[in-house]
């Protein structure tokens, strides 16, 4: 790409105003397409609801970087890997996460290209509507809102579980009420407050995972009360793979394959960054940096994390996947207990508490913004378009009500409730990420049909079009086989079947129902609105900031983007 071009290149309704050292500025002339409506909302553009921007760009690069970590590193890694280890064994667990990391890398690239091209409120919900059709936007928006709202409730139930590690004398409903109310407080008073809260919560989480990885290394070389240099002992006895459902090599493969749903719940994707694009400062400068860096950092944390799990605990330990409260089911705590380290389990539980809390805040934000995207697009009552201090108030309140599902933990075992919701959400993520690639494939085809060249694309990965085709294939296979256990002899369970395919039912009913009643048409590639949903405020904020001068400024730019 040219690094010093000053030429003005027309791209349909957009103009590329120049490129200097990875900085790209775009302006879009949309005024001739927008007609003000009576309710203050802009009129439709080719069937899309254009809107007056009501959210505010207050999220800083450090906020967005830590949001990506927060949504990806949580109870799924610290607790959920225990049951995955019990099914697959240490090598099966490691290979499962490594393969899934490659899929997520491809998904980050695909979504990153679209978001940097069009950093607007609603993000992938807008993309689905614009690049596919109205029914896809409707179905994806509701699927994402439902699964993430349920995931929020799951994290709230997880917090109640974690507190019960110390005492079960207080009813779990009390903890649910406290955490649920805090989620509302972080999200209702402005995105800046949310960003700051998530930033500091996430720092504790990163310190925890780094500490646990360090603890594993020190312990395995003999730095434990027993002085036992156990190294990779558990990879030899009971072995690197476990047999799951079947015997022999086929059982080893099924154990490995069963890891993917757990990984899909634990290993967060690019959707959290994407939904923040409409509230990020200087998105076309900041977001490429975030998308490029975060996936590699996450992969390192996850690969080393699951490696540590397989080193600390043998897959046949009876406590793995147990219903012990709090971090008692965490393989890290089980490993510390096996080594007779008395204080560490309490430290892990305390930091794990902040980790689950942080994930709940993040998921709450994501689900409220996807609901707002549906509101902006006219798919829910106009009430949900209302904003106060840049926050979609009634969307936030609606998600808060959904979190009350976690009050089930007051009568049921909290870990059981968490497991139910985890199963639904993990399968939903597989479907959602597959749909992201469908959107991206048509987005790239539309760009080519409209003559958009690489020099006119703010940020991209070469050959991503072909990566997305391959990723879509694997996501589809994994999703439709994720419930394979229920189809084997003696393992049929109606509940597990519903958990495995509930998300597909939501998406299928929403998509087909909308197509039957509204009959939306898919635009030809040459007419796909590549700049749908962009407002003048998005353009005005897309400014090139001054380059850092001092060493501290340069370090901050390198660290946060």
The CATH number that applies at residue 505 is 1.20.1740.10
The structure tokens 């703010």 sit at 458
What stretches of 324-463 show up as alpha helix (H) in DSSP?
A: 331-338, 344-376, 393-402, 414-449
Total-model pTM? 0.84
Reduced to 3 states, what is the DSSP secondary structure of residue 455? helix
Q: Are 63 and 73 in contact (CB under 8 A)?
A: no
CA atoms within 13 A on the CB side of 234: 21
Non-local CB neighbours of 48 within 8 Å, separated by 6+ positions: 126, 129, 130, 377, 529, 532, 533
Mean pLDDT (the chain, rounded): 81
The per-residue pLDDT for range 350-369, each reduced to its tens digit, is: 878 888 888 888 889 989 99
- Specify the pLDDT at position 394: 94
Distance between CA atoms of residues 6 and 26, nearest Å = 13
Which one-letter DSSP state was computed for residue 513?
Answer: H
Residue 11 lies in a domain: no
**Residue 1 predicted with pLDDT over 50:** no
CA atoms within 13 A on the CB side of 327: 24
CB atoms within 10 A of CB 294: 24
Residue 1 lies in a domain: no
The per-residue pLDDT for range 377-413, each reduced to its tens digit, is: 888 888 998 988 788 999 999 999 998 887 876 665 5
- Give the chain's domain count: 1
Residue 7 lies in a domain: no
Residue 552 lies in a domain: no
Residue 264 lies in a domain: yes
Non-local CB neighbours of 134 within 8 Å, separated by 6+ positions: 47, 514, 518, 520
* Residue in 58, 59, 65 with CA at minimum distance from that of residue 206: 65
- Specify the pLDDT at position 438: 97
Q: Are 208 and 358 in contact (CB under 8 A)?
A: no
Residue 120 lies in a domain: yes
The structure tokens 């994720």 sit at 482
Q: Ranked by mean pLDDT, which of 158-162, 207-211, 467-471 comes out on top?
A: 467-471
Residue 52 lies in a domain: no
Residue 219, domain extent: 57-522
């Amino acid at each position: 790409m040219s690094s010093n071009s000053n030429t003005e290149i027309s791209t349909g309704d957009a103009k590329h105003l120049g490129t200097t050292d990875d900085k790209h500025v775009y302006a879009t002339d949309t005024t001739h397409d927008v007609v003000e409506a009576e309710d203050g909302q802009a009129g439709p553009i080719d069937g899309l609801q254009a809107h007056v921007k009501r959210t505010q760009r207050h999220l800083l690069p450090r906020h967005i970087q830590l949001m990506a970590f927060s949504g990806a590193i949580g109870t799924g890694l610290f607790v959920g890997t225990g049951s995955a280890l019990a099914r697959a064994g240490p090598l099966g667990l490691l290979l499962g996460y490594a393969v899934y990391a490659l899929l997520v890398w491809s998904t980050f690239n695909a979504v990153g290209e679209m978001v940097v091209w069009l950093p607007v409120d609603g993000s992938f919900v807008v993309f689905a509507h614009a690049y596919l059709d109205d029914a896809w936007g409707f179905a994806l928006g509701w699927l994402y809102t439902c699964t993430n709202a349920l995931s929020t409730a799951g994290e709230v139930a997880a917090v109640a579980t974690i507190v019960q590690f110390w005492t079960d004398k207080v009813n779990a409903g009390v903890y649910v009420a406290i955490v649920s109310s805090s989620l509302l407080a972080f999200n209702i008073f402005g995105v800046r407050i949310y960003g700051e809260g998530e930033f500091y919560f996430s720092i504790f989480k990163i310190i925890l995972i780094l500490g646990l990885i360090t603890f594993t290394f020190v312990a395995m070389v003999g730095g434990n009360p027993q002085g036992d240099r156990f190294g990779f002992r558990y990879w030899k006895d009971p072995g690197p793979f476990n047999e799951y459902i079947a015997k022999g090599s086929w059982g080893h493969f099924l154990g490995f394959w069963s890891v993917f749903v757990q990984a899909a719940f634990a290993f967060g994707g690019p959707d959290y960054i994407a939904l923040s694009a409409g509230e990020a400062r200087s998105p076309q400068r900041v977001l490429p940096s975030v998308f490029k860096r975060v996936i590699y950092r996450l992969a390192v944390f996850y690969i080393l994390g699951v490696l540590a799990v397989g080193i600390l605990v043998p897959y046949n330990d009876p406590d793995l996947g147990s219903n012990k409260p709090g971090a008692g089911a965490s393989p890290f705590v089980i490993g510390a207990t096996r080594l007779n380290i008395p204080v560490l389990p309490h430290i892990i539980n305390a930091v794990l508490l902040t980790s689950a809390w942080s994930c709940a805040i993040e998921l709450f934000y994501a689900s409220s913004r996807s609901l707002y995207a549906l509101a902006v697009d006219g798919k829910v009552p106009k009430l949900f378009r209302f904003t106060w201090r840049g926050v979609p108030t009634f969307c936030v309140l609606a998600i808060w009500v959904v979190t009350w599902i976690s009050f089930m933990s007051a009568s049921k075992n909290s870990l059981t409730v968490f497991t139910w919701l985890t199963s639904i959400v993990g399968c939903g993520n597989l479907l959602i990420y597959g749909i992201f690639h469908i959107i991206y494939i048509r987005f790239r085809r539309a760009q080519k049909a409209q003559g958009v060249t690489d020099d006119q694309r703010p940020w991209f990965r070469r050959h991503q079009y072909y990566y997305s085709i391959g990723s879509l294939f694997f996501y589809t296979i994994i999703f439709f086989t994720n419930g394979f256990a229920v189809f084997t002899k003696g393992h049929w369970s109606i509940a597990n079947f519903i958990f495995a395919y509930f998300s597909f039912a939501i998406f299928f009913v929403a998509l087909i129902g909308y197509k039957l009643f509204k009959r939306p048409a898919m635009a030809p590639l040459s007419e796909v609105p590549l700049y749908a949903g962009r407002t003048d405020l998005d353009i005005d904020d897309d400014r090139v900031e001054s380059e850092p001068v001092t060493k501290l400024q340069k370090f901050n730019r390198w660290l946060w983007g």
